Amino acid sequence: MELALSWQDIALTVGNLALLVAMVPEFAGKPKLPLATSIPAACALFLFTIAYATVGLWSAAVSSGLITTGWVILMLDHPRFNKVSKRKRK
């Protein structure tokens, strides 16, 4: 197993971590992003994570997985999603 990171893995990881830092303000306040944004973003990023992993870009896959998790958290925290999930629990 090769431990050295390729320049592509490093570039994608740095970009992903920058995007993750940019998401921090969304977690601090009330959710502002519509579900029409967060659901497709989470799905696309999940596919990116799988793609990175299958070509051996493990660092990029992990950082992309973190961003995917962030989008899923934002989606689950959306008021409309909370209303739907509360109705299903009753």
Q: Dump pLDDT digits (tens) for 37-49.
A: 889 999 999 999 9
Residue 78 lies in a domain: yes
pTM exceeding the 0.85 threshold for the entire prediction: no
The number of distinct structural domains making up the chain is 1
**Residue 36 exposure: Cα atoms within 13 Å on the Cβ side:** 0
| Best CA proximity match to 3, nearest among 48, 53, 59 | 59
* Domain span at 73: 51-82
| Per-residue pLDDT at 76 | 86
Residue 36 lies in a domain: no
Residue 67 lies in a domain: yes
Residue 77 lies in a domain: yes
| Per-residue pLDDT at 25 | 86
Residue 31 lies in a domain: no
Q: Dump pLDDT digits (tens) for 43-90.
A: 999 999 999 999 999 999 999 999 999 999 888 887 776 665 555 655
Residue 26 lies in a domain: no
Residue 70 lies in a domain: yes
